[in-house]
Structure 1
Amino acid sequence: MSVAIENFVKAIYNNDKHDIKNTKPGNIAKQLGISNPAATDMAKKLAAKDLLHYEKYQALQLTEKGKKMALNVVRKHRLWEAFLFKMFDMSLHDIHREAELLEHQTSDLLAEKISAFLGHPKFDPHGDPIPNAKGEITTKDTSITLAEAEEGQTYTIARLMSDDKEFFEFCALNEIKYRNTLTVSKQFTGNKMTQISIGSNTIVLNENFTKIIYVDEN
């Protein structure tokens, strides 16, 4: 399949799984940087290939065939992120950018070789689950957003759900990393801000951050 098709089904899958929950063609078009008519045309084309269900003005839904394709691309992307992070200690932003390119050029054989080399990891460095070779996610997500966390509780960072360079630079400077622990000191619910203690830092985060940092209670 072409890069454009793989990116399209992956965008639908990611939007459906994440908090965006908007898989209408217009939203997919905005994400991929294409026009609304181009997204609609692509949706119709992929519906004819039995990769998704298309109805005018409705959200797009992947078929089982489309979901399998999306998970295959996601697997390769996240394996490359894990590999680049381990081998070259690249930033979380940079590994995402490079994996976006490499995922489309990777055979199933090479993906399995990378997985075996890494010890078949379950998660990538952002905390996102890595599907297995059968296109299955075998881990259970019990995480909540930092905005939902309770005062006085200690948590482990489970996921950093972003691809923004400045977000990851801020996280790196403040020890906000996958699997690090933090304590929620105060929830300023009226102002939608959260004060946390992590490592040697005490910082206050607004909801732009607290809604994309996911944590598990210790």
Structure 2
Amino acid sequence: MSVAIENFVKAIYKNGKRDNNDTKPGNIAKELGISNAAATDMAKNLAAKDLLKYQKYKPLKLTDNGTKMALSVIRKHRLWEALLFKLFDMSLHDIHREAELLEHQTSDLLAEKISEYLGNPKFDPHGDPIPNADGEITTSDTSISLSNANEGKSYTISRLMSDDKEFFDFCALNGLKYGNTLVVSKQFTNNKMTQILINNNTILLNQDFTSIIYVNENK
């Protein structure tokens, strides 16, 4: 399959897992930087290949074949991220950018070799789960977005769901890393902002950040 097709099904899968669950062609087009017309044409083409279900004005839904393809690409992407992070201590943005290129050139055999070398990791450095060789995610996800976290509670950062360099630069400067602990000191619901305490520093985050930072409550 072409790079464009793999990226399209991957975008549908990932968008379907986010809070807004928006997999309409227009949103996928925005995600991939293509026109709405191109996204619609691609959706119709992939529906004919039994990779997704297409209905005009409706969200796109992957078939079993489409989901299998998406998870295969995601597995290779996240394994490369884990390998690059381990070997070269590259930034989260840089490992994502390189993995975007490498995922399409990686055989199943090489992916398995990378996984074995890394000790078959369950998560990548962003905290995203890595599917196994059968295209299954065997870990349970109980995390919530920081925007939905409760005041006065302590949380561990479980996922950073972005590919934006400025976002990762900000996170690195402020200790917002996978596995780090924070406390939600105040939720400003009307203004959609969250105040947190991390590493003895108080930070005020807007919803653009809190909607893509996922956490698990510390019991």
TM-score range, shorter chain: over 0.9
Alignment pair present for 1:55 and 2:55: yes
Matched AA of 1:114: I
Matched AA of 1:43: A
Gaps of 5+ in 1: none
Gaps of 5+ in 2: none
Following TM superposition, by how much is the alpha carbon of 1:38 offset from its aligned partner in structure 2, in angstroms?
Answer: 1.7
SS at match of 2:121: coil
1:1-218 equivalences in 2 (<5 Å)? 1-218=1-218
Distance 1:21 1:118 in 2: 32
Matched AA of 1:204: L
Following TM superposition, by how much is the alpha carbon of 1:20 offset from its aligned partner in structure 2, in angstroms?
Answer: 3.4
SS at match of 1:22: coil
Following TM superposition, by how much is the alpha carbon of 1:37 offset from its aligned partner in structure 2, in angstroms?
Answer: 2.0
Following TM superposition, by how much is the alpha carbon of 1:147 offset from its aligned partner in structure 2, in angstroms?
Answer: 1.4
Following TM superposition, by how much is the alpha carbon of 1:117 offset from its aligned partner in structure 2, in angstroms?
Answer: 0.7
Deviations 1:46-76 (A, max 9, x none): 1111111112222111110110000000000
Deviations 1:189-215 (A, max 9, x none): 232222211113221112211111111
Aligned sequence identity (%): 78
RMSD value, Cα: 1.1
Following TM superposition, by how much is the alpha carbon of 1:188 offset from its aligned partner in structure 2, in angstroms?
Answer: 2.2
- Runs of at least 4 residues off by over 6 Å: none
Following TM superposition, by how much is the alpha carbon of 1:105 offset from its aligned partner in structure 2, in angstroms?
Answer: 0.3
Matched AA of 1:163: D
Distance 2:167 2:45 in 1: 36
Matched AA of 1:172: A
The answer to which of 42-51 and 126-135 deviates more is 42-51
SS at match of 1:96: helix
SS at match of 1:18: coil
SS at match of 2:87: helix
Number of corresponding residues: 218
Matched AA of 2:212: I
The answer to which of 202-211 and 78-87 deviates more is 202-211
Distance 1:99 1:40 in 2: 26
Distance 1:30 1:192 in 2: 23
Distance 1:36 1:75 in 2: 28
Following TM superposition, by how much is the alpha carbon of 1:7 offset from its aligned partner in structure 2, in angstroms?
Answer: 0.6
Matched AA of 2:213: I
TM-score, structure 1 normalization: 0.96
TM-score, structure 2 normalization: 0.96
